[in-house]
A and B are shown apart, each in its own frame.
Chain A
């Protein structure tokens, strides 16, 4: 396939995702301007991060006036899954130049990882396909953030619209989205209990760091050693 048709094949595959992210991008835009960010700061967040869940976490902690280090650590933790994405998808990127590869990683969001893996299995992963998927999606994300931020300022009473609860409910749905993972319930319960205790005894933002550490360590302890892999 020519580069051009590869690019459009990528764009075509991203259409359903584009449709889905318009909603969340507008929501982020509206929530941003109602959580103390200016219009341009809200758009800057979408342009520089391009990872919805962590952008909402940033808004939440900024609203709570959490210290900068804890904001950055929370964003790092939420986005930590991407480490696995580039470790896996990077294996199919031998055909990419250095600058192509390291600009490709900038866009490596959840749907792009999924699409890239499938593409690499069935065809080979060409840079034109990858960027054909990524770049239009990126501009849809920024564009609809801009739209949401413009309309969000028209809302004078965000509490009546439940904007303060929006983040919690959204995070809850994300949390439940991971429930098929091994030992999910055990690690979530451990983290949940630990975070409540730390929240009461020490206070924010430590409940996020200490609480999540407890669940992650429990997962490491009860994780089943796989016979094939333990030899390393």
Chain B
């Protein structure tokens, strides 16, 4: 039973994992009303921690693999980083992907 959670998802069981990601997401969408709403005020430190969660998680997904990238990928990431100060996510994605596709087409 617990082995299921310890092992990697495989093509055989991935549909169960997908349903579980749905369950986990539903828990986050209802838990706020079920649990947090019972407290009138959230402690400011708890609130600061909650505010920081998405950024803190995303950087751990992006940064470590990016450091092992090749030059085209690193340039694309840096360009996307610069673009994200002014442009929408869709435009950032377009710029980054354009650099990757063109760079690879030229054999880098």
Chain A residues close to B by CB (< 8 Å): 20, 23, 36-38, 41, 44-45, 48-51, 54-55, 57-58, 60, 62, 65-69, 71-72, 74-91, 93, 101-102, 105-106, 108, 159-162, 165-166, 168-179, 181-184, 187-188, 190-192, 194-196, 199-200, 207-208, 211-226, 229-232
Contact = CB atoms under 8 A, between A and B. Distances in A.
Interface string B12-35: 001101111110111111111111
Nearest to A206: B60
A227 to B, nearest CB: 9
A181 B50 CA distance: 11
Interface of A is mostly: helix
Given A170-B93, A232-B43, A159 B59 contact: no
Contact of A220 (B27, B36, B48, B101): B48
Interface string B57-76: 11111111111000001001
A225 B44 contact: yes
B4 interface: yes
Contacts of B61: 57, 60, 74, 171, 208
B20 A80 contact: no
Nearest to B73: A165
Contacts of B60: 191-192, 194-195, 207-208, 211-212
Contacts of A194: 60
Interface of B: 4-9, 11, 14-15, 17-22, 24-37, 39-67, 73, 76-77, 80-81, 84-85, 89-90, 92-93, 96-97, 100-101, 104-105
A220 B92 contact: no
10 contacts: A48-B21, A66-B9, A68-B17, A81-B50, A84-B36, A169-B77, A181-B51, A187-B56, A190-B56, A225-B45
Contacts of A88: 32
B95 to A, nearest CB: 9
Given A41-B15, A65-B8, A178-B54, A82 B104 contact: no
A217 B15 CA distance: 34
